Amino acid sequence: MTQDHNGAFVEFDRVQKTYDGETLVVKDLNLKIGKGEFLTMLGPSGSGKTTCLMMLAGFETATQGDIRLAGKPINAVPPHKRGIGMVFQNYALFPHMTVGENLSFPLEVRSLPKSERESKIKRALDMVQMGDFINRRPSQLSGGQQQRIALARALVFEPELVLMDEPLGALDKQLREHMQFEIKHLHESLGITVVYVTHDQGEALTMSDRVAVFDDGRIQQLAPPDELYESPQNSFVAQFIGENNKLPGTIEEISDGKAKVRLDSGELIDATAVNVTSKGQRTVVSIRPERVEYRPELLPAGAQTIPAEVLEFIYMGDIFRTRLKVAGSDEFVIKSRNTQGQARLKPGEKIQIGWAPQDARALDAL
């Protein structure tokens, strides 16, 4: 398979999906995925991300629009003829088969000779460090081992595209984080294209080349992880990706991409104008917790400062998490690194906090 002339290996072209003929669960989706890319579809339950994955796999049919793989429309191609590897949250291993037989199945369907099947099964099991488990049944494996086998089965016939639907959702936190890196390393070493679905933002940021954030059947923002976190384009993305402080207000002045915002509590602050356009418009100013400073000597040049009252100071090992009352909100949070000799704040303490004006983003009102 190769990419088509416009650089897309996978392409959704004006794709829509409805189950009842009235409500669209996917709305006018246009998305191009490059060969070898790791793209994650991220969003809350019901946002349309899994439906998109299932349409690409062939388990759901697009109501409207085209889905292309390497430039060829695949809407009418049955799932087993698309040559796509799949990994699910529930592993979907055959319980009555051994690990080796589970991996052999997709190769037998493709009529590969026995000697070739054996070499491919060995290679796939070695990739996920499960070579010694070839004669075990799924019931004799832990959850993490079963997920490794499911991954090996998706890779055994050497597909160029692998789809993963919440594959780590059933694992505990430590194993999930370990598997994130394993999948990422496999992706890099094999050069396969991966389309990954999750509602876990940390997983999306850790693993992906780009992330498509879904809400209400549409992509709200499509960007690399750092851009998504640092430069959210609307309030939904700012809230969904990472922790975020939000201060409601009204635009007083706006020009050259900068805005002056009168907060509902009365303070006037500067912010980067993101998707606000006119004076008098309602806005929510978004500021990431780690961009806020309370130590005067560490405030950036030209910092925007504002009074605050300490409500809670929590020791979290590598960081301190401080909850403050700021501009009428009791939910303003600062995250600061645990450095030697750092003063610990006490509830009730009155302090000044500050941030660089460019770190405050005036977004659409919620």
Residue, of 358 and 4, whose pLDDT is higher: 358
Identify whether residues 78 and 133 lie together within a single domain.
Answer: yes
Q: Which of 211, 235, 259 is the last residue of a domain?
A: 235
Confidence of residue 129 (pLDDT cuts 50, 70, 90): confident
Task: Say whether 178 sits in a helix, a strand or coil.
Answer: helix
User: Does position 176 have pLDDT exceeding 50, yes or no?
Assistant: yes
Here the CATH number for the domain that contains residue 155 is: 3.40.50.300
Tell me, yes or no, whether 154 and 287 share the same domain.
no
pLDDT of residue 103: 93
Q: Does residue 7 register a pLDDT over 90?
A: no
Residue 319 is part of a domain; what is its CATH number?
A: 2.40.50.140
User: Is there a single domain that holds both residue 223 and residue 123?
Assistant: yes
Residues 229 and 247 in one domain: no
pLDDT at site 173: 86
Domain annotation covers residue 4: no
What range defines the domain where residue 343 resides? 243-364
Do 94 and 128 lie in a common domain?
yes
Contact 168, 146 (CB under 8 A): no
Statement to judge: residues 296 and 219 lie in one domain: no
Residue 122 pLDDT level (bands cut at 50, 70, 90): very high
Is residue 341 a part of any domain in this protein?
A: yes
Average pLDDT in the 63-78 region? 95
Do 222 and 258 lie in a common domain? no
Question: Which residues contact residue 166 at a Cβ distance below 8 angstroms, ignoring those fewer than 6 apart?
Answer: 50, 88, 89, 197, 198, 199
Specify whether 208 is located in the same domain as 286.
no
Confidence of residue 2 (pLDDT cuts 50, 70, 90): low
Question: Tokens 């009155």 sit at which residue?
Answer: 350
Q: What is the pLDDT of residue 28?
A: 94
The pLDDT, as a whole number, for residue 297 is: 86
Query: Do the beta carbons of residue 16 and residue 23 sit within 8 Å?
Result: no
Q: What is the pLDDT of residue 69?
A: 95
Burial 147-179 (b: 16+ CB within 10 A, else e): bbbbbbbbbbbebbbbbbbbbbbbbeeeebeeb
pLDDT at 301: 83
Same domain, 142 and 289: no
Q: What tens digit of pLDDT does each residue of 30-65 get?
A: 999 999 999 999 999 999 999 999 999 999 999 999
Flag whether pLDDT at 4 surpasses 60.
Answer: no
Contacts of 184 by beta carbon, 8 Å cutoff, 6+ apart: 38, 206, 207
Report pLDDT digits (tens) over 248-297: 999 999 999 999 999 999 999 999 999 898 999 999 999 999 999 998 88
pLDDT at 158: 86
2 located within any domain: no
Highest mean pLDDT (candidates 4-13, 150-159, 302-311): 302-311
Residues 30 and 87 in one domain: yes
The pLDDT > 70 percentage for the chain reads 98
pLDDT at 5 over 50: no
pLDDT confidence of residue 97: 92
Residue 83 has pLDDT above 70, yes or no: yes
Task: Read off the pLDDT band of 351 (50, 70, 90).
Answer: very high
Structural domains counted in the chain? 2
Give every CB contact of residue 106 below 8 A, 6+ residues apart in sequence: 153, 156, 157
Whether 154 is in a domain gets the answer: yes
pLDDT (0 to 100) of residue 68: 96
Statement to judge: residues 223 and 186 lie in one domain: yes
- Same domain for 195 and 318, yes or no, is no
Q: What is the pLDDT of residue 237?
A: 95
